[in-house]
Structure 1
């Protein structure tokens, strides 16, 4: 007995599934490339720059993301939430000062590693609803870390939550200018700042990074002229 065979699916239906898989792979390549480019160069890059780094055509980028702001939203919502989680983790430290130091240090490392994160969080000129909502979640978490250390008497009581982004901007500038000659220099200045924020200490905290030599300082100062 002859059996009827089902008609072959149309060509576009047959190819739909692998095309979706290809599209998702391209999307992940674009996001990975954008993370790298934003971290190294900041947010003032073009989709062409990101496409070049991802090894895809710029049209492929535009099919996944209508503009740079959509990429910023896709990447930094998660990054800011990670910092918020660290602030909340700092509240679980038995010693409130240790919790504050841990949070300041890990956040400073994140900002040192990622210029784009510094710009989107501290300057706030990029990103729309999702990034704005992430920033709004972060602010009360930082305030809780600060207030807890103040109640414990470890942190001077005139520090406000708005001091945190300004401190990070200062460290970020030092990081950016000295990146080529001394990438870890920010740790030296974070230690000096934390010593200044603490209400009392018996001796100064040892600095974790040496000062710049004169030639290194000259190179760092020269970086100011090219910004």
Structure 2
């Protein structure tokens, strides 16, 4: 009797995770466990027995996506040309965000309650730092660009992708190209950047504020 029950439990868990993945991709992470239960066609109690809160479910869905992001970062850092490595990492990230609204919200969000994602971010961040520094040291990335400048740029491309998704889903590439032209160092042609890059503390404050507004 117990073996079939374990198999049923695993099937229900997979159904819940698959349903959550679809909802997160189409609507973002601002959904409820009740929404997931309805989409998975299981009882709400079944969802709560597998995941005590939405953060656990976010972890369950996106930890694998973060593993994939780490693999891309490793490939980007290994690229022969530092600029190509930076473009590879950003292009893969934006392609993922254009297909999955929740991914962008996870990347720009806090890790509160999501221990698996937090651990993956700690592994990914040093790679991103090195990808940016390598492109800058090669002279191809503007000398005044810092790694924390990427967060607002990610938000910009994410907003453009969301704006156009029902009309021209892949048109984020147009604006990504404009961003790349702005990041590239062109001797004698670059305009001095106004403002300043945010500090790590300010990035955390901005993420926390966005997190509160989405809840």
TM-score (normalizing by structure 2): 0.83
Q: Distance in 2 between matches of 1:108 and 1:126?
A: 23
Q: Distance in 1 between matches of 2:124 and 2:108?
A: 12
- 1:47-82 Cα deviation digits (max 9, x unpaired): 111111112111111111111111011122221221
Partner of residue 33, structure 1:
19
Shift of 1:123: 2.2
Q: Distance in 2 between matches of 1:19 and 1:52?
A: 22
Partner of residue 69, structure 2:
83
Structure 1 segments of 4 or more deviating over 3 A?
none
Is the 2:111–2:117 Cα contact (8 Å) retained in structure 1? no
Partner of residue 157, structure 2:
171
Is the 2:29–2:102 Cα contact (8 Å) retained in structure 1? yes
Structure 1 residues 180-199: aligned runs within 5 Å: 180-199=166-185
TM-score (normalizing by structure 1): 0.78
Q: Distance in 2 between matches of 1:17 and 1:129?
A: 30
Q: Which has the higher contact order (CA 8 A, sep 6+)?
A: 2
Structure 1 residues 75-154: aligned runs within 5 Å: 75-124=61-110, 127-154=113-140
Find the residue that maps to 2:169 and give its secondary structure.
coil
Find the residue that maps to 1:184 and give its secondary structure.
helix
- 1:31-54 Cα deviation digits (max 9, x unpaired): 011011011101111111111111
Larger radius of gyration: 1
Find the residue that maps to 2:178 and give its secondary structure.
helix
Partner of residue 70, structure 1:
56
Unaligned runs of 5+ in 2: 188-213
Shift of 1:127: 4.2
- RMSD value over aligned CA atoms? 1.6
Shift of 1:129: 2.0
Unaligned runs of 5+ in 1: 1-14, 202-226
Q: Would you say how many aligned residue pairs link Structure 1 and Structure 2?
A: 188
Find the residue that maps to 2:4 and give its secondary structure.
helix
- 1:58-114 Cα deviation digits (max 9, x unpaired): 111111111111101112222122112211111111111111111111111011111
Partner of residue 37, structure 2:
51
